Amino acid sequence: MLEHAIEGWRRQLGDGRVLGATAAQARYGGDTTGSQRRIAAALRPADRDQALLAVRLALRERVPLYPISTGRNWGYGTSQPAGEDCVVLDLGDLRAIRHFDPVLGTITVEPGVTQGDLAAFLDAQGAPFLVPVSGAGPDASLLGNALERGYGITPAADHFAALTGLEAVLPDGSLWGPALAALGGETIARGFKWGIGPYLDGMFTQGAFGVVLSGTFALARRPECVQALVFQAGDDGLEAAVAGVRDCLRRLPGIVGGINLMNRHRMLAMSMPWSAALAGRDGLIPEERVRREADARGLAAWNGFGTLYGTRRTVAAARAEIRAALRGRVRRLLFISPAAARRLAWLAHRLPRWAGGSQAPRLDLLASGLELVDGRPNETALPLCYWRGGVRAGNGRSDPARDGCGLRWYAPLVPMVPGEVAEFAEHTAATMRRHALEPLITLTSLSERCFDSTVPLLFDRHDPLAVANATACHHLLRDQGCARGWVPYRVGTDDQAWLARRLGPAWDLVGRLKGAIDPHGLIAPGRYAPPRTVREDESAGVPALVA
């Protein structure tokens, strides 16, 4: 069936857009985790019509497909399918911006439209909107991140919440779209997320119920004023800082964007290269050395970074509220605009070290971070992937999977309870050290109730022992974290089977829906759904699902 399908795809798409197993494995089989899957073939449709034809032929021939957008899902599986012997459907060349409403601030994009593409489009239009950026960089898909329920720190921080509608091809080959558009309300369907009747868009996020061909985002309007708040907390100051962050979010909903708390290890990894000369006998940088290097760069045990959005008068009033919320809880509170950060970085590079030039790397990091919160995508976060290995290719664009980086993400949700956050940080750091991994910890507020912690497990991907250590550490953090109530908000392809074993009754309904909509398991088999097989019920003569 695969051979027959490949012949059909070559007629539909052209030879250059259909890759056999060897070429597909070489292009899509690399992963920062060190894991591997067998890939049967790969398709690279040039546009929506080709994608639709390719999906329908796959379904007719009963060949399993694994759709990706731009494949930059580093640390969670990159482009690799969740199961073996799938055909990768690469939608990265679907880069059309189908509709833009400059009055209502909605935009409809295809899966291959990147953060950088949208930034260029909005600049060309002179449109006053922010790109919903993430740390994955300007070449990462907007739609792919939203479908993984990713987030950022601009006002539209929850990227799925900003997604107002989807178009998808279902496993029977039919097209699915917003209900309000079917009633004739195309404009309002782009502006009203919930539609009418049962809300079904969520099935296509962290799911395997169809191939999404486009999505509409409600963009956040660029505010009159954007400022960052920067602060620090000492070794025993995390709990007080968490209480202060929670107070800020409660006082100023909609004005304060996401607030990050990063430990000194994480900040150091973003501001200096790792060197074997820094490491002790266990392969880790000794804590005392970490402290000295951080002190030299003006970094504290915990470093806070958040954003304010609004009119100048609103932001000025918000600053007073934040000072009150953080007074006595943090130190070195500073408010700074993106333009001021750029000027300070420029000046630091021209001063001798004794006069402030030593702060140039820190100010560079602050300036580039402020570009992100200003809705301008960049690669600020990507050098972290290269800290323990990997060499950039000559084209200048980062691609950690291609470049040999070793990375697994541990991304649990943590209640915003000061003592519990401190316990989480201590447990995570100790577990990582036992596995010879530098404990780099970030906490990002998703609301006044919850942090997501993004913890990169960085290792030498070419060292089998390092790969095994990172895998074992990830499994232990995941399992022990769940036992303590710190559960992941998303998992990678390697953890799909683990997830299916753990979810019980909640997953039974997912399996029943998957079996009804995709009875042959052809769309992203093994992804966020329990494994199922189909047998013929001899008494009824109809397909029946069995676990």
pLDDT tier at 542, thresholds 50, 70, 90: very low
More confident residue, 153 or 95: 95
- Of 55-69, 91-105, 358-372, which gets the smallest average pLDDT? 358-372
Please name the residues in contact with 219: beta carbons below 8 A apart, sequence gap of 6 or more: 105, 106, 107, 129, 130, 132, 156, 162
d(CA 100, CA 223): 19
| The predicted structure's pLDDT at residue 81 | 96
The verdict on residue 441 lying in a domain is: yes
Amino acid at 225: C
Give the 3-state secondary structure of residue 340: helix
- In terms of domains, do 187 and 268 share one? no
- In terms of domains, do 33 and 123 share one? no
- In terms of domains, do 61 and 107 share one? no
| The predicted structure's pLDDT at residue 368 | 80
Please name the residues in contact with 16: beta carbons below 8 A apart, sequence gap of 6 or more: none
- In terms of domains, do 147 and 47 share one? no
The verdict on residue 374 lying in a domain is: no
pLDDT higher than 50, residue 21: yes
Specify the number of domains making up the chain.
4
Give the 3-state secondary structure of residue 517: helix
The verdict on residue 125 lying in a domain is: yes
- In terms of domains, do 246 and 329 share one? yes
pLDDT higher than 70, residue 339: yes
Taking alpha carbons only, the member of 333, 328, 342, 258 closest to residue 303 is 333
Contact 195, 138 (CB under 8 A): no
Q: What is the DSSP string of 95-159?
A: --EEEEETTTTEEEE-TT-BHHHHHHHHHHHT--B-----TT-TTSBHHHHHHTT-B-SSSS-BT
| The predicted structure's pLDDT at residue 541 | 37
Domain that holds residue 36: 2-90
- In terms of domains, do 328 and 212 share one? no
Calculate the average pLDDT of the chain. Answer: 91
Digit-coded pLDDT (tens) for 458-469: 999 999 999 999
More confident residue, 189 or 504: 189
d(CA 150, CA 538): 44
Residues of the chain with pLDDT > 90: what percent?
A: 78
- Of 144-148, 173-177, 367-371, which gets the smallest average pLDDT? 367-371
pLDDT higher than 70, residue 534: no
- Domain holding 41: CATH number? 3.30.43.10
| The predicted structure's pLDDT at residue 155 | 80
- In terms of domains, do 101 and 177 share one? yes
The verdict on residue 370 lying in a domain is: no
- Of 14-18, 22-26, 313-317, 369-373, which gets the smallest average pLDDT? 369-373
- Domain holding 479: CATH number? 3.40.462.10
Contact 362, 299 (CB under 8 A): yes
- In terms of domains, do 331 and 464 share one? yes
- In terms of domains, do 155 and 260 share one? no
- In terms of domains, do 110 and 238 share one? no
Amino acid at 262: M
| The predicted structure's pLDDT at residue 355 | 66
The verdict on residue 351 lying in a domain is: no
Q: What is the DSSP string of 447-496?
A: SSSEEEEEEEEEEETT-HHHHHHHHHHHHHHHHHHHHHT-EES---GGGH
Give CA torsion, residues 97, 102, 105, 108, to 10 deg: -20
- Domain holding 198: CATH number? 3.30.465.10
- Of 201-205, 320-324, 335-339, 340-344, which gets the smallest average pLDDT? 340-344
The verdict on residue 364 lying in a domain is: no
Per-residue pLDDT, averaged over 98-120, amounts to 97
pLDDT higher than 90, residue 470: yes
Please name the residues in contact with 534: beta carbons below 8 A apart, sequence gap of 6 or more: 515, 519, 520, 521, 543, 544, 545, 546
- In terms of domains, do 282 and 410 share one? yes
- Of 14-18, 259-263, 503-507, 538-542, which gets the smallest average pLDDT? 538-542
Domain boundary among 183, 203, 218: 218
- In terms of domains, do 291 and 322 share one? yes
Domain boundary among 457, 473, 495: 495
| The predicted structure's pLDDT at residue 394 | 67
The model carries a pTM of 0.91
Domain boundary among 48, 74, 90: 90
The verdict on residue 369 lying in a domain is: no
Per-residue pLDDT, averaged over 359-376, amounts to 78
The verdict on residue 341 lying in a domain is: no
